[in-house]
Amino acid sequence: MIRGMRGAITVTSNSEEEIISATEELMKELIEGNNILPEQVASVFISTTEDLNAAFPARALRKFPGWTYVPVMCMRELPVPNALPMCIRIMMHVNTSVTQEEIIHVYLEGAAVLRPDLGNTLA
């Protein structure tokens, strides 16, 4: 069964280094928290808010061994008024037998405010 695993992190500046570093940190937490192997991943969608355009955050995934062939797509988050700024979000589609309730969703830094209702986050 394919399950969605979500995460988000905020950054403090629109710089290539910070976008890549934050995305790498978020992916690491999602991978480790859910014991994900690259061959289990069907796809990864990464969105950024409009204020982040210095780098493609998907480049961070290429730093992980074995993730070369995992399909990744970057996109823009909807520019909703008063939404959390400087935010990178990830939706990973993973083949797993884990139930939805057992999935670890990860919200780091300022993004912890996005889903306080999820009791199984690492943040």
Write out the catalytic residue numbers: 6, 62, 74, 77, 89, 107, 115
Q: List CB contacts of 81: < 8 A, sequence separation 6 or more.
A: none
> Whole-angstrom Cα distance, residue 55 to residue 49?
12
CB 51 within 8 A of CB 115: no
